[in-house]
Structure 1
Amino acid sequence: MTRAVVFAYHDVGVRCLSVLIDAGVEIALVVTHQDAPGDLIWFDSVAELAARYAIPTITPDDPNTPEIVAQITALAPDFIFSFYYKLMIKTPLLAIPKQGALNLHGSLLPAYRGRVPVNWAIIHGETETGATLHYMTEKPDAGAIVEQTAVPILGDDTAGDVFRKVTCAAEITLHRALPALIAGTAAAKPQDLTQGGYFGGRRPEHGKIDWSLSANAIHNLIRAVAPPYPGAYTTLSGKPLRVLRSRMIDQKANNDAKSVFFCDNHGCYVHCSGGGTLQLLALEWDGKHINPAEYLAVFGNEALYLA
């Protein structure tokens, strides 16, 4: 029987661990994360799935300690798999499995190597992304590719929408590649690392809207950080405004030096100084949801400028 040690977290971790269990792979150990206090947990639990199947589970702050390396060495796994595990798995661990260590990454490598690839792909207006199964090397997301599955990014998709597609693509990718991996016949294609690039993590403050940009660029930011992520934000009449959902109305030029915010009975809109018009479909003003009728009750038909 094929034996694996699995490093996993999040929905991708749950679905890919499920693929291994379904295929009859012996899971000798699951390494996952404790949910951080205060985090919004909107995804499924790898720890709960492992407990359901009585799989031993650990949640170390650092998986690369000599003690854990020794523990995993003693298990003599054929494979190590990493499915959306957040920490780097270093060379001593990567050298343990007899048939290799593989990672499932949420982009079509070599594009969008590094952190939060789904969010970055939307910010850059990509129309396609996917999931890639590749061998791990000391350099992250750089190893030879075993299998990929592409998914579309539609023009109004949020990061949550795309992440659900990527989760499905990850499951399909692993399921398709697993028989050849177990048999030792899987082909692997080296990456061309002159293509694509590395991207870092994102923080809530990166969701601040730059109203000098085009409506298209602002729309991409809004949907890339829409809930369950922290959301795009700005200030309206001296109070914080969170923009949770938008859609493009047009891409016409705008001669105003500033972006103009206004609402009517049909909705709330911004004529963007960088060109184009957005309809803002979901808003929080001063911590509360606000609809067009409520805006009109406060501001009337007054148009407000956004810096």
Structure 2
Amino acid sequence: MSGATVRPAARRQRAVVFAYHNVGVRCLKVLLAGGVDVALVVTHEDSADENIWFESVIALCRSEGIAYLTPADAKSAELLASVRAAQPDLMFSFYYRNMLPAELLALAPAYNMHGSLLPAFRGRAPVNWAVLHGADATGATLHEMTVKPDAGAIVAQTAVPILPDDSAFEVFGKVTVAAEQTLWTVLPALLAGRAPRLVNDLSQGGYFGGRKPEDGRIDWSQPAQQVYNLHRAVAPPYPGAFTDLAGVRYVIERARLGKQSSEQISNVAALSLPAGLAVVDNCIFGVCGDGRMLTISALSADGAAVSAQQLHTRLAASASGQ
């Protein structure tokens, strides 16, 4: 048309993304679908000592032709130079496991996706801690990154329920979807420079550290609900809640805590069952400090399933001092 003005297409915003795990994969896909130019991804090599049950960011980068790095040190001068050379307009961290130093954060506005409803459960392993503490909800929060972890202004968040029998693995699946929804919903405003900035009240909630396999040790003197929460928080594919007996480590693979009447609790007392593993009517139970029991449907030792009969024989031998 004569006299028409042709406007140049708007330049796609360029991002450097630090990503790992399922949240890293799904949120990277959101950025790509949203038209972001992902110039560089920084991720981790999988550890041979870890049960890798989650999706691969490296595999996604290879399939999409995205350049990626796997530096051993997030504070290295080489990584800083690589990110600076990418000239990002924005930076994102999606379940990347290392803290980003101030020098990196100074290169562009940076946003992190955290697996809780901030300010609750700041720090490491937020899903596992939420289940361990018996929370009935959690979610995903996109927030501005600062040197202090999980302390920046909240951009957006999405809640998900934690059902009474949900394991951390099941909750993590919900949080992954919540992270995808959160980023997809707010991304247009973020790219337009109009993202919300909500107060992240650090006087609420608290910081939690990473969890080690040893943290799964069961204290049978605790009430059954606490023992059950521990089981749910670390159930496979996490290392699992465990108890040691006669030099053997038993890992609870599956268990339930049903509603038990005062009569049933009295029956446990009448059987004089000590706290810990027990076999009653060819079923495995975990007797807890309040007299309630976990029904254990799958128990293992040294990676092999342990039947009720096998456990009964071992318990009897232990009691007799053999």
TM-score (norm 2): 0.88
Partner of 1:180: 189
Larger radius of gyration: 2
Is 1:22 the counterpart of 2:54? The answer is: no
Question: In structure 2, what is the equivalent of residue 110 of structure 1?
Answer: 119
Match of 1:42 in 2: 53
Cα distance change of structure 1 residues 303 and 265 upon mapping to structure 2, 3 Å threshold: farther
**Any residues of structure 2 matched to 1:56-135 within 5 Å, and which?**
56-97=67-108, 100-135=109-144
Q: Is the 8 A contact 2:220 2:276 kept in 1?
A: no
Shift of 1:250: 3.5
Contact 1:250 1:278 in 2 (8 A): no
- The 1-side partners of 2:217 and 2:209 are apart by 17
Asked if 1 retains the 8 angstrom alpha-carbon contact of 2:220 and 2:227, the reply is yes
Alignment of 1:116-265 (within 5 A): 116-250=125-259, 252=262, 258-259=274-275, 261-265=277-281
Cα distance change, pair 237–300 in 1 and its aligned pair in 2 (3 A): closer
Query: What SS does the aligned partner of 1:213 have?
Result: coil
Classify 1:188/1:266 alpha carbon distance in 2 versus 1 (closer, same or farther; 3 Å). farther
The whole-number CA distance in structure 1 between the counterparts of 2:297 and 2:189 is 47
Aligned-residue sequence identity (percent) comes to 51
Q: Which deviates further from its counterpart, 255-264 or 67-76?
A: 255-264
Q: Distance in 2 between matches of 1:85 and 1:261?
A: 38
Structure 1 residue 302: deviation in Å?
9.9
Distance change (3 Å), C-alpha of 1:89 and 1:257 = same
The structural deviation recorded for 1:291 is 2.8
Mapped partners of 1:260, 1:9: distance in 2: 38
C-alpha displacement at 1:272, in angstroms?
Answer: 1.4
- Other structure's SS at 2:226 match: helix
Asked whether the equivalents of residues 157 and 223 of structure 1 are also in contact (C-alpha less than 8 Å), the reply is: yes
Moved more, 81-90 or 279-288: 279-288
Counterpart contact for 1:260–1:303, Cα < 8 Å = no
Q: 1:300 to 1:117 in 2, by over 3 A?
A: closer
- Measured after TM superposition, the shift of residue 286 of structure 1 is 4.9
Moved more, 259-268 or 56-65: 259-268
Report the RMSD for the aligned CA atoms in angstroms: 2.1
Structure 1: 5+ residue stretches without partners: none
Match of 1:52 among 42, 46, 63: 63
Q: 1:285 matched to which residue of 2?
A: 301
Distance 2:257 2:79 in 1: 51
Aligned residues: 301
Stretch of structure 1 that moved more, 119-128 or 60-69: 60-69
Partner-residue secondary structure (3-state), 2:294: strand
Give the Cα separation in 1 of the matches to 2:150 and 2:47. 25
Structure 1 residues 260 and 58: alpha-carbon distance in aligned structure 2, compared to 1, 3 A threshold: closer
Tell me by how many angstroms 1:212 deviates. 0.6
Structure 1 residues 302, 262: closer, same or farther in 2, change over 3 A? farther
Amino acid across the alignment from 1:49: L
The answer to whether the 8 Å contact 2:278/2:286 transfers is: yes
Post-superposition offset of 1:72: 1.5
Deviates more, 1:62-71 or 1:8-17: 62-71
What is the DSSP-based 3-state SS (H/G/I as helix, E as strand, rest coil) of the residue aligned with 1:241? strand
Deviations 1:185-232 (A, max 9, x none): 111112110000000011111110001100100000011111111111
Query: What residue ranges of structure 2 are gaps of 5+ in the alignment?
Result: 1-11
Q: CA deviation at 1:76?
A: 1.6
> 2:137 is aligned with what amino acid?
E
The counterpart of 1:3, out of the listed 2, 14, 19, is 14
Distance in 1 (alpha carbons) for counterparts of 2:61 and 2:218? 41
